[in-house]
Amino acid sequence: MYQIIGWDGKQYGPVSAEDLRAWLADRRVNADTQVCPVGSREWKPLSAYPEIAGEAARSDSPPVVFTPLAWTPDETRGFSVRNCLGRGWGIVRNRFFPTIGVTLLVTLVYLLISAVPLLGGILALVAQGILYGGLYWYFLRLLRGENAELGDAFAGFRRNTKDLVLAGVVQGVIIFGVILIAVIPVIAIGFDLSGGKTPSGMTLMLLTLLGVLLLVGLIILSAMWMFSFPLVIDRGLGFWRAMETSRKAVFRRFGSVLGLLIACSLIVIAGVLALGVGVLVALPVCAASLAAAYDELFGASAATS
Protein backbone atom coordinates (compact mmCIF):
# COMPACT_ATOMS: atom_id res chain seq x y z
CA MET A 1 0.00 0.00 0.00
CA TYR A 2 1.15 3.52 -0.78
CA GLN A 3 0.52 7.17 0.04
CA ILE A 4 0.65 9.73 -2.77
CA ILE A 5 0.84 13.52 -3.07
CA GLY A 6 -1.93 14.96 -5.24
CA TRP A 7 -1.89 17.95 -7.56
CA ASP A 8 -3.04 20.14 -4.67
CA GLY A 9 -0.03 19.20 -2.55
CA LYS A 10 -2.16 17.11 -0.18
CA GLN A 11 -1.49 13.54 0.88
CA TYR A 12 -3.89 10.74 -0.09
CA GLY A 13 -4.09 7.03 0.55
CA PRO A 14 -3.40 4.33 1.27
CA VAL A 15 -3.81 3.02 -2.28
CA SER A 16 -2.71 -0.29 -3.75
CA ALA A 17 -0.13 -0.89 -6.46
CA GLU A 18 -2.96 -2.10 -8.71
CA ASP A 19 -4.80 1.19 -8.25
CA LEU A 20 -1.66 3.14 -9.08
CA ARG A 21 -1.14 1.12 -12.26
CA ALA A 22 -4.74 1.75 -13.28
CA TRP A 23 -4.45 5.48 -12.59
CA LEU A 24 -1.20 5.56 -14.54
CA ALA A 25 -2.94 3.99 -17.52
CA ASP A 26 -5.72 6.58 -17.21
CA ARG A 27 -3.09 9.34 -17.02
CA ARG A 28 -4.35 10.38 -13.59
CA VAL A 29 -0.81 10.05 -12.22
CA ASN A 30 2.51 10.53 -13.92
CA ALA A 31 6.20 9.79 -13.50
CA ASP A 32 6.64 12.77 -11.18
CA THR A 33 3.82 11.94 -8.76
CA GLN A 34 5.35 11.59 -5.28
CA VAL A 35 4.78 8.14 -3.74
CA CYS A 36 5.64 6.71 -0.32
CA PRO A 37 5.06 3.14 0.90
CA VAL A 38 2.86 3.04 4.01
CA GLY A 39 5.09 2.79 7.06
CA SER A 40 8.00 4.49 5.32
CA ARG A 41 9.06 8.13 5.51
CA GLU A 42 10.82 8.31 2.14
CA TRP A 43 8.96 9.96 -0.73
CA LYS A 44 10.04 9.23 -4.30
CA PRO A 45 8.62 9.94 -7.75
CA LEU A 46 6.49 7.16 -9.20
CA SER A 47 9.18 6.54 -11.81
CA ALA A 48 11.39 5.21 -8.99
CA TYR A 49 9.02 2.23 -8.63
CA PRO A 50 9.48 0.24 -11.87
CA GLU A 51 7.26 -2.54 -10.53
CA ILE A 52 4.40 -0.03 -10.72
CA ALA A 53 5.40 2.42 -13.44
CA GLY A 54 7.09 0.11 -15.92
CA GLU A 55 7.45 1.85 -19.28
CA ALA A 56 4.12 3.62 -19.03
CA ALA A 57 4.99 6.60 -16.81
CA ARG A 58 5.09 9.80 -18.81
CA SER A 59 6.36 13.01 -17.25
CA ASP A 60 4.07 15.05 -19.52
CA SER A 61 0.92 13.41 -18.15
CA PRO A 62 -1.45 15.64 -16.19
CA PRO A 63 -1.09 15.66 -12.42
CA VAL A 64 -3.34 13.56 -10.24
CA VAL A 65 -6.72 15.00 -9.22
CA PHE A 66 -8.57 13.50 -6.26
CA THR A 67 -11.40 14.16 -3.90
CA PRO A 68 -9.80 14.24 -0.44
CA LEU A 69 -10.16 11.01 1.50
CA ALA A 70 -11.43 10.95 5.05
CA TRP A 71 -8.53 10.94 7.46
CA THR A 72 -8.44 10.43 11.20
CA PRO A 73 -5.35 10.27 13.41
CA ASP A 74 -4.38 7.12 15.23
CA GLU A 75 -5.27 8.02 18.82
CA THR A 76 -3.08 5.28 20.27
CA ARG A 77 0.15 6.86 19.12
CA GLY A 78 2.44 8.88 21.36
CA PHE A 79 5.97 10.22 21.24
CA SER A 80 9.14 10.20 23.26
CA VAL A 81 10.56 13.58 24.27
CA ARG A 82 14.07 12.18 24.08
CA ASN A 83 13.47 10.71 20.64
CA CYS A 84 12.00 13.97 19.30
CA LEU A 85 14.94 15.99 20.61
CA GLY A 86 17.33 13.42 19.15
CA ARG A 87 15.69 13.57 15.73
CA GLY A 88 15.60 17.35 15.86
CA TRP A 89 19.29 17.61 16.72
CA GLY A 90 20.16 15.02 14.09
CA ILE A 91 18.50 17.08 11.35
CA VAL A 92 20.25 20.29 12.42
CA ARG A 93 23.60 18.54 12.80
CA ASN A 94 23.40 16.99 9.33
CA ARG A 95 22.22 20.21 7.64
CA PHE A 96 23.75 22.70 10.02
CA PHE A 97 23.95 25.92 8.03
CA PRO A 98 20.79 25.45 5.89
CA THR A 99 18.57 24.76 8.92
CA ILE A 100 20.02 27.68 10.88
CA GLY A 101 19.71 30.01 7.90
CA VAL A 102 16.13 29.04 7.08
CA THR A 103 14.96 29.30 10.71
CA LEU A 104 16.69 32.65 11.13
CA LEU A 105 15.19 34.00 7.91
CA VAL A 106 11.63 32.97 8.82
CA THR A 107 12.05 34.45 12.30
CA LEU A 108 13.41 37.72 10.93
CA VAL A 109 10.58 38.00 8.41
CA TYR A 110 8.05 37.54 11.21
CA LEU A 111 9.79 40.12 13.41
CA LEU A 112 9.93 42.63 10.55
CA ILE A 113 6.23 42.16 9.89
CA SER A 114 5.50 42.61 13.60
CA ALA A 115 7.50 45.85 13.61
CA VAL A 116 5.38 47.56 10.95
CA PRO A 117 4.02 50.76 12.55
CA LEU A 118 0.35 50.65 13.60
CA LEU A 119 -0.50 47.48 11.65
CA GLY A 120 2.30 45.24 12.94
CA GLY A 121 0.16 43.33 15.42
CA ILE A 122 -2.57 42.57 12.89
CA LEU A 123 -0.11 41.65 10.14
CA ALA A 124 1.78 39.36 12.51
CA LEU A 125 -1.48 37.65 13.42
CA VAL A 126 -2.19 37.02 9.74
CA ALA A 127 1.38 35.95 8.90
CA GLN A 128 2.13 33.60 11.79
CA GLY A 129 0.24 30.62 10.36
CA ILE A 130 1.79 31.06 6.92
CA LEU A 131 5.36 31.45 8.17
CA TYR A 132 5.43 28.90 10.97
CA GLY A 133 3.32 26.45 9.00
CA GLY A 134 5.97 26.71 6.28
CA LEU A 135 8.77 26.21 8.79
CA TYR A 136 7.05 23.05 10.03
CA TRP A 137 6.74 21.89 6.42
CA TYR A 138 10.45 22.47 5.79
CA PHE A 139 11.50 20.38 8.78
CA LEU A 140 8.90 17.68 8.11
CA ARG A 141 10.35 17.14 4.65
CA LEU A 142 13.83 16.77 6.14
CA LEU A 143 12.59 14.40 8.85
CA ARG A 144 10.94 12.24 6.18
CA GLY A 145 14.11 12.00 4.13
CA GLU A 146 12.91 14.35 1.42
CA ASN A 147 14.84 17.14 -0.23
CA ALA A 148 13.88 20.42 1.43
CA GLU A 149 14.80 23.82 0.03
CA LEU A 150 14.33 27.42 1.11
CA GLY A 151 11.08 27.65 -0.83
CA ASP A 152 9.58 24.91 1.34
CA ALA A 153 9.89 27.18 4.38
CA PHE A 154 7.50 29.56 2.63
CA ALA A 155 5.14 26.86 1.36
CA GLY A 156 2.40 28.44 3.47
CA PHE A 157 1.98 31.02 0.72
CA ARG A 158 0.84 28.28 -1.68
CA ARG A 159 -0.42 25.36 0.48
CA ASN A 160 -3.77 25.86 2.25
CA THR A 161 -2.98 29.52 2.84
CA LYS A 162 -6.51 30.50 3.84
CA ASP A 163 -6.76 27.91 6.61
CA LEU A 164 -3.26 28.72 7.87
CA VAL A 165 -4.26 32.37 8.17
CA LEU A 166 -7.56 31.51 9.87
CA ALA A 167 -5.86 29.14 12.31
CA GLY A 168 -3.39 31.84 13.32
CA VAL A 169 -6.01 34.59 13.58
CA VAL A 170 -8.53 32.53 15.56
CA GLN A 171 -5.87 31.35 18.01
CA GLY A 172 -4.55 34.88 18.40
CA VAL A 173 -8.01 36.35 19.03
CA ILE A 174 -8.86 33.70 21.63
CA ILE A 175 -5.55 34.18 23.45
CA PHE A 176 -6.00 37.97 23.36
CA GLY A 177 -9.50 37.54 24.78
CA VAL A 178 -8.18 35.46 27.67
CA ILE A 179 -5.52 38.07 28.41
CA LEU A 180 -8.13 40.84 28.29
CA ILE A 181 -10.44 39.01 30.71
CA ALA A 182 -7.54 38.58 33.14
CA VAL A 183 -6.38 42.19 32.80
CA ILE A 184 -9.76 43.83 33.46
CA PRO A 185 -9.75 43.02 37.22
CA VAL A 186 -6.15 44.25 37.44
CA ILE A 187 -7.16 47.57 35.86
CA ALA A 188 -10.10 47.85 38.26
CA ILE A 189 -7.82 47.27 41.23
CA GLY A 190 -5.38 49.82 39.84
CA PHE A 191 -8.08 52.48 39.69
CA ASP A 192 -9.09 51.62 43.24
CA LEU A 193 -5.49 52.15 44.40
CA SER A 194 -4.93 55.31 42.37
CA GLY A 195 -5.90 57.49 45.30
CA GLY A 196 -2.75 56.52 47.16
CA LYS A 197 -4.23 53.61 49.05
CA THR A 198 -1.90 50.85 50.21
CA PRO A 199 -2.91 47.48 48.71
CA SER A 200 -4.17 45.02 51.28
CA GLY A 201 -2.86 41.50 51.65
CA MET A 202 -6.04 40.19 50.02
CA THR A 203 -5.51 42.47 47.02
CA LEU A 204 -1.93 41.32 46.56
CA MET A 205 -3.04 37.70 46.88
CA LEU A 206 -5.73 38.27 44.24
CA LEU A 207 -3.25 39.86 41.84
CA THR A 208 -0.82 36.98 42.33
CA LEU A 209 -3.58 34.43 41.74
CA LEU A 210 -4.69 36.21 38.57
CA GLY A 211 -1.11 36.25 37.31
CA VAL A 212 -0.65 32.54 37.95
CA LEU A 213 -3.99 31.64 36.34
CA LEU A 214 -3.18 33.78 33.31
CA LEU A 215 0.23 32.15 32.89
CA VAL A 216 -1.22 28.64 33.21
CA GLY A 217 -4.03 29.50 30.80
CA LEU A 218 -1.65 30.87 28.18
CA ILE A 219 0.59 27.80 28.45
CA ILE A 220 -2.38 25.47 27.98
CA LEU A 221 -3.79 27.45 25.05
CA SER A 222 -0.43 27.67 23.30
CA ALA A 223 0.28 23.98 23.86
CA MET A 224 -3.06 22.59 22.80
CA TRP A 225 -2.91 24.20 19.35
CA MET A 226 0.79 23.61 18.70
CA PHE A 227 0.09 21.04 15.95
CA SER A 228 -2.65 22.99 14.16
CA PHE A 229 -0.36 24.65 11.59
CA PRO A 230 1.31 21.41 10.44
CA LEU A 231 -2.08 19.64 10.35
CA VAL A 232 -3.26 22.31 7.93
CA ILE A 233 -0.18 22.42 5.71
CA ASP A 234 0.65 18.70 5.85
CA ARG A 235 -2.73 16.99 6.17
CA GLY A 236 -4.81 19.65 4.46
CA LEU A 237 -7.30 19.95 7.32
CA GLY A 238 -9.54 22.97 7.69
CA PHE A 239 -8.42 25.40 10.37
CA TRP A 240 -11.05 24.44 12.97
CA ARG A 241 -10.65 20.70 12.49
CA ALA A 242 -6.88 21.15 12.71
CA MET A 243 -7.22 23.06 15.98
CA GLU A 244 -9.59 20.45 17.43
CA THR A 245 -7.41 17.55 16.29
CA SER A 246 -4.37 19.20 17.84
CA ARG A 247 -6.23 19.94 21.08
CA LYS A 248 -7.41 16.35 21.49
CA ALA A 249 -3.97 14.93 20.75
CA VAL A 250 -2.25 17.31 23.18
CA PHE A 251 -4.71 16.65 26.01
CA ARG A 252 -4.26 12.88 25.60
CA ARG A 253 -0.48 13.28 25.96
CA PHE A 254 -0.21 16.49 27.93
CA GLY A 255 2.67 15.23 30.07
CA SER A 256 4.82 14.46 27.02
CA VAL A 257 3.87 17.73 25.32
CA LEU A 258 4.66 19.76 28.43
CA GLY A 259 7.95 17.91 28.83
CA LEU A 260 8.93 18.69 25.25
CA LEU A 261 7.99 22.36 25.59
CA ILE A 262 9.95 22.68 28.84
CA ALA A 263 12.96 20.99 27.24
CA CYS A 264 12.78 23.34 24.25
CA SER A 265 12.48 26.35 26.56
CA LEU A 266 15.57 25.27 28.47
CA ILE A 267 17.46 24.79 25.20
CA VAL A 268 16.57 28.32 24.08
CA ILE A 269 17.51 29.78 27.48
CA ALA A 270 20.84 27.98 27.31
CA GLY A 271 21.34 29.37 23.82
CA VAL A 272 20.67 32.91 25.02
CA LEU A 273 23.07 32.48 27.94
CA ALA A 274 25.77 31.31 25.52
CA LEU A 275 26.42 34.93 24.58
CA GLY A 276 23.22 34.90 22.53
CA VAL A 277 24.92 33.06 19.67
CA GLY A 278 23.70 29.67 20.85
CA VAL A 279 20.12 30.68 20.15
CA LEU A 280 20.91 30.41 16.43
CA VAL A 281 21.31 26.67 16.98
CA ALA A 282 18.67 26.35 19.69
CA LEU A 283 15.82 27.68 17.55
CA PRO A 284 16.17 25.22 14.64
CA VAL A 285 16.74 22.31 17.05
CA CYS A 286 13.51 23.17 18.85
CA ALA A 287 11.59 23.70 15.60
CA ALA A 288 12.81 20.36 14.26
CA SER A 289 11.98 18.63 17.56
CA LEU A 290 8.41 19.96 17.52
CA ALA A 291 8.08 18.82 13.90
CA ALA A 292 9.36 15.39 14.97
CA ALA A 293 6.67 15.20 17.67
CA TYR A 294 4.04 16.04 15.06
CA ASP A 295 5.46 13.44 12.69
CA GLU A 296 5.34 10.78 15.41
CA LEU A 297 1.67 11.54 16.07
CA PHE A 298 0.33 12.37 12.63
CA GLY A 299 2.91 11.23 10.04
CA ALA A 300 2.22 8.74 7.25
CA SER A 301 2.60 5.72 9.51
CA ALA A 302 0.22 7.30 12.01
CA ALA A 303 -2.68 7.73 9.64
CA THR A 304 -5.69 5.66 8.91
CA SER A 305 -8.14 6.24 6.10
82-123 per-position pLDDT tens digit = 999 999 999 999 999 999 999 999 999 999 999 999 899 999
How would you class 46 by CB atoms within 10 Å of its CB: exposed for 0-12, middle for 13-18, buried for 19 or more?
A: buried
Between CA 99 and CA 284 the distance in angstroms is: 6
Between CA 249 and CA 76 the distance in angstroms is: 10
**pTM value > 0.85:** no
pLDDT tier for residue 146 given thresholds of 50, 70 and 90: confident
pLDDT single digits (tens) 158-194: 989 999 999 999 999 999 998 888 788 777 776 666 6
Judge whether residue 69 has pLDDT over 60. Answer: no
pLDDT attached to residue 181: 84
- Transcribe the chain into DSSP letters: -EEEE-TTS-EEEEE-HHHHHHHHHTTSS-TT-EEEETT----EEGGG-HHHHTTT--TTSPPP--PPPP-EE-TT----HHHHHHHHHHHHHHTHHHHHHHHHHHHHHHHHHHTSTTTHHHHHHHHHHHHHHHHHHHHHHHHTT----GGGGGGGGTSSHHHHHHHHHHHHHHHHHHHHHHHHHHHHHHHHHTTSPPPPHHHHHHHHHHHHHHHHHHHHHHHHTTTHHHHHHHH---HHHHHHHHHHHHHHTHHHHHHHHHHHHHHHHHHHHTTTTTHHHHHHHHHHHHHHHHHHHHSGGGEE-
pLDDT tier for residue 26 given thresholds of 50, 70 and 90: low
In the CATH hierarchy, which top-level class contains the domain 2-69?
alpha beta
pLDDT single digits (tens) 155-165: 999 989 999 99
pLDDT attached to residue 7: 58
Judge whether residue 72 has pLDDT over 70. Answer: no
pLDDT attached to residue 211: 81
pLDDT attached to residue 58: 47
User: What is the pLDDT averaged over residues 2-18?
Assistant: 73
User: What is the pLDDT averaged over residues 270-298?
Assistant: 92
The segment with the largest mean pLDDT, out of 47-51, 93-97, 297-301, is 93-97
CATH 3.30.1490 residue ranges for the chain:
2-69
> Average model confidence (pLDDT) for the chain?
84
Q: Is the dihedral of CA 22, 25, 28, 31 positive or negative?
A: positive
